[in-house]
Structure 1
Amino acid sequence: MKNEKAVVVFSGGQDSTTCLFWALDNFREVATVTFDYGQRHSDEIECARKIAEELGVSFKVLDMQLINQLSANALTRDDIEVTEVDGELPSTFAPGRNHLFLSFAAVYADAIGARHLITGVSETDFSGYPDCRDNFIKSLNVTLNLAMDGRFVIHTPLMWLDKSEVWALADKLGALDFVQEKTLTCYNGVPSSGCGECPACVLRNEGLATYLSQKSAGVAK
């Protein structure tokens, strides 16, 4: 893969930034694509832009506001509370988001001569999102190749990792401090460790604490 070109679906958060470092370690040339879908805070896009600039990779923003026009969810509406209830989809679920993002990322990849797509979805810590599952990604990979007569490969480096293992991967890639300090995962738009209260922050910070504890004890995976 070292001689090939890849596109990272990039938000500037912990997962996609870890994937970006993974891509830089595995591909000759890496580009990023970020989506403006009317998210609660535009700081996410600016954070992604700054990271891409610092790491010296190209940065493309695609307008996906139509997602916000078609459905109401807590990712795009600040008047909807961020909630997670057992047995129900989280209020942050945006129907079709990853399907659309990866499809448009493939169109962009085709335009710049890349055939590898990297996304930070995970079935281990996926909050119940159906479009983060491995079977969806494999199915979409087949569909994209049929639809575009292409040879795309969708890579999911985090698919079977929990959050502590994602931190471990970042550390292995020499990016632990960078990811910890410069990414934005928080639903309330607070960078680094975030607000500490929303589900994204709780998952991120508990994962980091677990990894650092394991590392200190010499039992990190």
Structure 2
Amino acid sequence: MKKLVVIYSGGMDSFTVLNKAIKEGYEVYALSFDYGQKHSKELDYAKLICEELGVNHKILNITTISGLFTSSSLVSDDIDVPDGHYEEENMKSTVVPNRNMILISLAIGYAVDIKAEGVWYGAHSGDHMIYPDCRPEFVKIMDQASKTANFQPVYVHAPYLDTDKIGILKDGILMGLDYSKTWTCYKGRKEACGTCGSCVERLEAFEENRIKDPINYYNTTEQ
């Protein structure tokens, strides 16, 4: 069985990627990162799922790097996570500078160490506008760099790169996945907000697939 490292945040995209890799017959090694994100609750979901599936799982604590990213609302206590759709300009505050290059580089090192053939992560077409490190040209360059930087070539792949979240959810539904075991909201509260870019996109995906989102959302008018 071929080994594969999956960058697993605990969100619905990486949850689908993780299960896709398992169903395609890989021996999966899930790697999650605590980088000081406000929504670190996602890591609890990642741990739970990996325990349920019997997947090898590591959570890497790199919280000290959050001090380098004071411009990002995902890690800075001085900036509120904005509400709205990802197509809106204010969503750029959720960018963590160079995040995916950092996380993928660490995952590549892990893959080399355990002799895995590749690294998968959950970039998709809905991320292309706001997140440069989710675009096809970035994935291509990281793949080339990974194969150049190590004696053991490790490929980098985003299986849903040309698919939006609606399509990802559709694929997950066909796989029979339970999305109540995922965390998407960026605000890190007890229940999802339903108004941040990540929640809006998630709710849109469920609506387009004509099924109800199984997680709870708090009533923003009562906050």
Please classify the TM superposition score into its range, dividing by the shorter chain length: 0.7 to 0.9
**Cα distance in 2, alignment partners of residues 127 and 201 from structure 1:** 17
Classify the secondary structure of the residue corresponding to 2:52.
helix
**What's 1:102 paired with?**
104
**Cα distance in 2, alignment partners of residues 143 and 66 from structure 1:** 26
Question: Number of matched residues?
Answer: 207
**Cα distance in 2, alignment partners of residues 35 and 141 from structure 1:** 20
What's the offset of the Cα at 1:66? Answer: 3.9
**What's 1:132 paired with?**
134
Measured against aligned partners, the alpha-carbon deviations of 1:187-211 in whole angstroms (never above 9, x if no partner) come to 122578x221111101001111101
Measured against aligned partners, the alpha-carbon deviations of 1:62-108 in whole angstroms (never above 9, x if no partner) come to 12224312111111124312236745761110011000100000111
Distance 1:191 1:58, change over 3 A: farther
- Unpaired stretches in structure 1, ≥5 consecutive residues: 214-221
- Unpaired stretches in structure 2, ≥5 consecutive residues: 212-223
Given that 1:5 and 1:27 are in contact with CA atoms closer than 8 Å, whether structure 2 keeps it comes out as no
Q: Identity over aligned residues, as a percent?
A: 37
Measured against aligned partners, the alpha-carbon deviations of 1:102-121 in whole angstroms (never above 9, x if no partner) come to 00001111111212111001
Classify the secondary structure of the residue corresponding to 1:35.
strand
RMSD: 1.9
Identify which range, 68-77 or 134-143, moves more after superposition: 68-77
* TM-score of the superposed pair, with normalisation by structure 2: 0.86
Given that 1:33 and 1:59 are in contact with CA atoms closer than 8 Å, whether structure 2 keeps it comes out as yes
* TM-score of the superposed pair, with normalisation by structure 1: 0.87
**Cα distance in 2, alignment partners of residues 65 and 211 from structure 1:** 36
Classify the secondary structure of the residue corresponding to 1:16.
helix
**Equivalent of residue 162 in structure 1, options 158, 161, 164:** 164
Classify the secondary structure of the residue corresponding to 1:77.
coil
**Cα distance in 2, alignment partners of residues 169 and 122 from structure 1:** 13
What's the offset of the Cα at 1:182? Answer: 0.8
